[in-house]
């Protein structure tokens, strides 16, 4: 990571960090990793804790509401959606592959520009 990119990332987190922490607590997988950029950006612990708590409330109520709505038909629902994990995993893998391809393309473009200069 170049110093310029690090500076851009810090500026982005400085501008959108509160919203990122709050909203990330409602997104599976992302919710587990938002602590890393918040820590790197040295977000104050009290603010991080408050935003995490507030962002977790809709997540918990959503899960509880889904459980309440499904009730005893949970097993039937689970059986019908058993392949959803594979779909989500495939989407995550596709997103990672897309990101990797874009990264390689950017690096190739940058090297081509450096050679032509």
Nearest to 32 by CA among 10, 5, 62, 52: 52
48-70 tens-digit pLDDT: 999 999 999 999 999 899 888 88
Report the C-alpha gap between 36 and 73 in whole angstroms: 38
Report the C-alpha gap between 17 and 65 in whole angstroms: 28
pLDDT of residue 58: 92
CB contact set of 67 (below 8 Å; sequence gap of 6+): 74
Report the C-alpha gap between 95 and 79 in whole angstroms: 27
pLDDT of residue 80: 78
Taking 50 as the pLDDT cut, the residues of the chain under it are none
């Amino acid at each position: 990571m170049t110093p310029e990119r690090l500076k851009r990332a810090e500026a982005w987190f400085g501008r959108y960090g509160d919203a990122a922490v709050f909203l990330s607590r409602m997104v599976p997988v992302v919710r587990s990793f938002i602590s890393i950029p918040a820590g790197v950006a040295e977000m104050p612990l009290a603010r991080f804790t408050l935003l995490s708590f507030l962002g977790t409330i809709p997540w918990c109520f959503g899960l509880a509401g889904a459980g309440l709505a499904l009730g005893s038909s949970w097993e039937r629902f689970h059986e019908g959606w058993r392949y959803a994990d594979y779909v989500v995993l495939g989407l995550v893998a596709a997103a990672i592959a897309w990101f990797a391809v874009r990264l390689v393309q950017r690096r190739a473009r940058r090297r081509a520009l450096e050679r032509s200069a």
